[in-house]
Amino acid sequence: MEVDLILDPDLSPTEVTELGLLAERYGFNAVWTSNYPSSRDPFIALCPLAVASERIGMGPLVITPYELHPLKMTKALSSLNELCTGRARILVGGPSGVMGAMGVDGQRMVGSVRECVEILKGSGPDHVLNYDGNIYQAWGYRPIWATDTPPLIYVGANQPQMLRMAAGVADAIMLGDVTAHRLQTGVQRIAAACEAHGRSRDTLRVSGLIAWHVKADRSASISEARRQLALRGMLDWWFMEGFLSPEEYDIVDKNRKHFFSAYKQGSDVIENVPDAIVDKLIANLTMSGDAGDIDRHIDTLRRYRDLGLDEVAFKLHRDHAESIRMIGEHVLPALG
């Protein structure tokens, strides 16, 4: 199982470079920059790392064709790929917080992402790209300078329609907020979709996002996990039905505003939600705790690998360097 890192959106390009080089020294597969409404441009944030590094992969996530036309997207991605000599990647999907900030209501999501991927994968130095899609068009594009190994195109997907589409066009699929319950179903659907597309499952990488909050101080870990719970599956029942009862989820659903208030205010206080329910969310939707919990998390990752997960992408928050060292020294050797 390969291990990627998703960096916090508030990091500067200098910080991204320092952390990316630290991750490279430990042998991580790739680092991702987050695309949030108020973050730096995720492509530009990677440029210094692209020049300074030698092996590690890198890319932005999530980028949607609603906010950036696929032709502009492929120009940015190919430029980053040139800087890092063929190690770039991108996660395409939707919807996203950036779309919300732009007041864009994503329509025809599966078709939009499919056409975006087809444009990204269809561009190259050896031919002129003329693409006449139902949603997007791209005419006369031929980047004669884009001679490095083509970037990897990931699609963010969880639901059946997007999984079926992505299995036909993407290099990799990233599942969000992995749980054993949803992973097993997702991998089965991906395998069936690959067969329907006449494609070997071995040619499609399956990655899974997991929030990593493990710290030397257990109380700091749980506090951070509580602050970030609003983003875990966006509190959708689809992610939680494997470990919450309908009655428990009803409490979560009725108190969404309190989860998001905690996230926005940087608070670990989630009003009106019993600690027992919060504890279940943290236990099932994150990897949290202290050093004594790492072996348990490694066992979980091995189960995920056996279920068909090829890569894990740990979403980091504060104390990035500490997390990189902890994962690099304990998790990477166990999964190698």
Q: Which pLDDT belongs to residue 181?
A: 85
pLDDT band at 180; cut points 50, 70, 90: confident
135 pLDDT above the threshold of 90: yes
| Mean pLDDT, residues 149-153 | 98
Q: Which pLDDT belongs to residue 286?
A: 98
| Mean pLDDT, residues 94-114 | 88
Q: Which pLDDT belongs to residue 99?
A: 86
To the nearest whole percent, how much of the chain has pLDDT over 90?
94
Closest by CA to 5, choosing from 301, 229, 225, 327, is 327
To the nearest whole percent, how much of the chain has pLDDT over 70?
100
Q: CA-based angle 301:303:305, to the nearest 5?
A: 70
pLDDT band at 287; cut points 50, 70, 90: very high
Amino acid (one-letter) located at 41: D
pLDDT band at 336; cut points 50, 70, 90: confident
